[in-house]
Amino acid sequence: MSTCLFLSFRSKAGALPAAELDKLDGVLQATPKLAKALVHTSSSAEDPYVKDGPSPSLVLQLYFATLPDLEAAASRSGRLHALTSREEFPGLAAADISQQAMLVRSFAVPDPAFRTPDGEPHCTYLVSYEGEAEDLNAWHAHYLEHHITHMATFPGIRELEVYTRLDWVSLLPWRRSNFMQRNKVVFDDADALRRALNSPVRHDMRADFKRFPPFIGPNNHYAMATRALAP
């Protein structure tokens, strides 16, 4: 299994300027051992069951084959420290920033081939379970055995991943999150996500949500416009 570093940015100023995003791309492309980068910017979708407010301004998902590779990138001399420069990235510096490294679990979907036109972003629904389960092992077991079965049948789904937490070392200066789980489902575009969220599958998932083992804490859902950046 690979690892993923989540970097989440919330800014009152909204989206980053295009020039700053271009610089961001350059830093990521020059990061050693970075296997894949996903750059998520704020989007929206109508979910019949949840209304969690506006999406973060920016979320980065940075994939590494091993945890030591991830920790090297986040070390004091790691390439990702370039993102902390206030001169180069004033928009990032003004944002509330959090970080979390997690283990990646990927699941097969019936038709993973994207229909998104070249150069156009696809649409990701990022979900976070931010608190604690009474019995974390039982909670994950139910999610991975039952909830994933429903998610994989969303009409038009292209990717499905679940992330579980781990201990990691980072010298990046930002606030550390300790969410017990995250997951994402990915679609061609925002319209495809809206259709999926208003399909019978979403109702089945809500029914299964009510059968989850006990847990506390917020559960947030955010639609994001996503582009993949090859290192």
* Overall number of domains in the chain: 1
Question: In the predicted model, is pLDDT for residue 46 greater than 90?
Answer: no
Q: Which residues pair with 81 in a beta bridge?
A: none
> pTM, whole model, 2 decimals?
0.96
Nearest-angstrom CA–CA distance, 172 and 73? 9
Nearest-angstrom CA–CA distance, 12 and 91? 10
Q: What number is the average pLDDT over the span 217-227?
A: 96
Residue 44: give the domain boundaries: 3-229
Query: pLDDT tens-digit profile of 133-156?
Result: 999 999 999 999 999 999 999 999
Confidence tier at 87 by pLDDT (50, 70, 90): very high
Structure tokens at 162: 């679940």
113-117, 140-144, 179-183: least confident range = 113-117
Structure tokens at 92: 């990032």
Distances (CA, A) of 58 to 115, 142, 170, 225: 24, 31, 20, 10
CATH number of the domain encompassing residue 140: 3.30.70.100
